[in-house]
Amino acid sequence: MFRLVVSNSHGSSSDTVMITVNPSQIDHISFEEVDWQSGKGSGTLTVIASTDSAVAQLFMSATNPDIALTPMTPLGAGRFQSLVTIRPAPERVTVTSSLGGFASTVVP
């Protein structure tokens, strides 16, 4: 609780104010596209994911072979993209949010 006091040339007034702070909420991540295309000597992993938060940053990682946690490129409207040249195709991709949300899927 806070006590708020306001004063001017006509006098002063005070009141007690209660401020409720809601704990931050974890956002929800969804995949729009996860694709690996073979190329000459390598392949390209494309991951497009979205979050329901306007302030989150998304990061992508993969396993077998491993890709370290990498920031994704914002596309706008909560959508993010990651393009990675890698061979062979990773088994699983995980997208993690700066707000704690995450999603994981196998690479087709």
Residue 89 lies in a domain: yes
Opening angle at CA 93, ends 56 and 24, nearest 5? 25
- List the domain range (segments joined by +) for residue 68: 24-106
Model pLDDT, residue 23: 56
Model pLDDT, residue 18: 72
Residue 33 lies in a domain: yes
Model pLDDT, residue 20: 65
What CATH number has the domain bearing residue 99?
2.60.40.10
- pTM above 0.85? no
Hey, what amino acid is at 44? T
Q: Find the radius of gyration of the CA atoms of the chain.
A: 23
Yes or no: say if 82 and 9 are a contact pair by the CB < 8 Å rule: no
Query: Does residue 85 register a pLDDT over 80?
Result: yes
Model pLDDT, residue 66: 92
Residue 4 lies in a domain: no
Tens digits of residue pLDDT in 2-43: 777 888 888 888 888 777 665 578 899 999 999 999 988 889
Q: Looking up tokens 């699983």, which residue turns up?
A: 92
Tens digits of residue pLDDT in 49-76: 999 999 999 999 999 999 999 999 999 9
50 Cβ contact partners less than 8 Å away, ≥ 6 residues apart: 29, 30, 32, 77, 78, 79, 80
Q: Is 20 helix (H, G, I), strand (E, B) or coil?
A: coil
Residue 16 lies in a domain: no
Tokens at 65, concatenated: 């072979």
Model pLDDT, residue 7: 86
Residue 11 lies in a domain: no
